[in-house]
A and B are shown apart, each in its own frame.
Chain A
Amino acid sequence: AQRVTQPEKLLSVFKGAPVELKCNYSYSGSPELFWYVQYSRQRLQLLLRHISRESIKGFTADLNKGETSFHLKKPFAQEEDSAMYYCALSHTGGGNKLTFGTGTQLKVEL
């Protein structure tokens, strides 16, 4: 069965420090991985997807099939990065349903 694991419920870093939000997955097929972000009092929105290989708001994530990981990274955290981050896996053979991880609350302190 597909599963997405985000081991940290809360990650607190200082402004300017590097950030790494961990995400591991288990899936028998070829995965499509996403990172979604939810800022305070806002709806969930897509941050980035592995297939695009893009950097959004300074964040990047590389799919490592050997380690079944899709960690989210940013070299220098900003205060506005404080939010809830969800890693998600798309079931390509199941109507593109998403399975979400439990989320990591990122808090960037001054």
Chain B
Amino acid sequence: GAVVSQHPSWVICKSGTSVKIECRSLDFQATTMFWYRQFPKQSLMLMATSNEGSKATYEQGVEKDKFLINHASLTLSTLTVTSAHPEDSSFYICSARDSVSYNEQFFGPGTRLTVL
């Protein structure tokens, strides 16, 4: 089946630094990728939709200047958390939509970000 990877799986950084998280579709092309955020014992909240070759579409309340998304190829999307603060600590999950498999999203394993 379709596989989505994320790197790194976990990261600890100091407040004020920036962190980049990669999301890759390993065996299929994904014109659309999605970035979610999940707080402990809560559901996944969609942050933004990443479209290859165009600007990402952010959900209401998500700061686009803080969470930079780049989708430069059909297999890679990156999320950069700029000037991270402790409140940005969370579990970030990406998914990729396979245009061949009807409307199915394949999820990455997630990245645990801890900001000190």
Contacts and interface: CB of A to CB of B under 8 A. Distances in A.
Interface residues of B, number: 22
Contacts of A45: 107
Contacts, number: 46
A69 interface: no
A44 B91 CA distance: 13
A91 to B, nearest CB: 10
Contact of B109 (A36, A43, A98): A43
Interface stretch (B16-24, B66-74, B78-86, B98-106): B98-106
B44 interface: yes
Interface string A50-64: 010000000000000
B110 A99 contact: no
Contacts of B51: 95
B39 to A, nearest CB: 11
Nearest to B6: A43
B12 to A, nearest CB: 20
B32 interface: yes
B103 A43 contact: no
Interface residues of A, number: 20
A96 B97 contact: yes
Contact of B107 (A32, A44, A49, A103): A44
Nearest to A105: B41
Contacts of A86: 43-44
Interface of A: 32, 36, 42-46, 49, 51, 86, 90, 95-103
18 contacts: A32-B103, A44-B44, A46-B105, A46-B106, A49-B104, A90-B103, A95-B49, A95-B51, A96-B32, A96-B105, A97-B34, A97-B46, A97-B49, A98-B46, A99-B46, A101-B43, A102-B42, A102-B43
